[in-house]
Amino acid sequence: MRLRGRKGIREDIERQKELVVMNAKDHKGKWAELFGNNNPIHAELGMGKGRFISEMSKKYPHINFIGVDMYDELIRKASEKAKVAHEIQSEEETESGFNIPNLKFMLFNIEHIEEAFADGELERVYLNFSDPWPKKKHARRRLTHPGFVEKYKQILNANGEIHLKTDSQSLFEFSLNSFADMGLRMRNISLNLHVDGIHPDHVMTEYETKFAGQGMNIHRCEVVIGQDALAAHLDQLSKPAAE
């Protein structure tokens, strides 16, 4: 078997011009143009092998999805998964790969996320099983550190939300404290998301499948960021709870 080296993988993903965005900074403020519509844009930051974002894009065709990761190999794996999830036939593939109208993969380092998106360009950020960086001296690298959350606040729109899932209790505690310290409103907090079994409508990530399969608790919460999202949330709270 011929093993493809790093160069081969880079060539593979560079060829996939329809699906893979290598020059994200060039699209800052122009992602709607790239998708060809003004539908909301949801991004998974640190998508890994891309199962979640591919399945979400299939399930919700009127939302544009962007999967972000910094490793060539993961972008390539994600593009293979997207092809299978969207049942793309070989004859649909051209020199520049295949097109899924509401899905893009972006090779990028999240540390500079504000250089890829203009203010208010995204509606939702998904942080699924982000690296927990357990050592205190690495706290700034956690994707829920206030330094990162400030950037998400900037690029999210009036309906903006952050949705977080993790198996890591320490990252979850850190994240809740980080959101609370920033005065952000959280909702639907769960310490054991799959306590009653995995709901058939729930879209799983690769890590979630692995950890839930090992019997580990999955923690989840939503952070309400945008003004309109907050107003809708407060309005909902003001209504009497259904019996």
Q: Which residues are known catalytic residues? A: 131
- Kindly report the three-state secondary structure assignment for every residue of 15-74: HCCCCEECCHHHHCCCHHHHHCCCCCEEEEECCCCCHHHHHHHHHCCCCEEEEEECCHHH
Joined tokens for residue 177: 């404290």
User: Is 60 marked as a binding-site residue?
Assistant: no
**Which among 192, 218, 15 is positioned nearest to 128, based on CA atoms?**
218
Least distance from C-beta 167 to ligand SAM, angstroms?
Answer: 9
DSSP secondary structure code for residue 181 in this structure:
H
Contact 77, 50 (CB under 8 A): yes
Residue 79 interacting with ligand SAM (CB under 6 A): no
Residue 184: which region, alpha, beta or left (left: phi > 0; alpha: psi -120 to 50)? Answer: beta
Residue 75 interacting with ligand SAM (CB under 6 A): no
- Positions in 199-218 near ligand SAM (CB under 6 A): 205-208
Least distance from C-beta 29 to ligand SAM, angstroms?
Answer: 21
- Positions in 109-168 near ligand SAM (CB under 6 A): 109-111, 128-131
User: Is 131 marked as a binding-site residue?
Assistant: yes
User: Is 69 marked as a binding-site residue?
Assistant: yes
Nearer to ligand SAM, 123 or 167 (CB): 167
User: Is 94 marked as a binding-site residue?
Assistant: no
Nearer to ligand SAM, 93 or 111 (CB): 111
Q: Quick one: how far is CA 239 from the chain centroid?
A: 31
Residues in the site for ligand SAM, rule: CB under 6 A? 46-48, 68-71, 74, 109-111, 128-131, 205-208
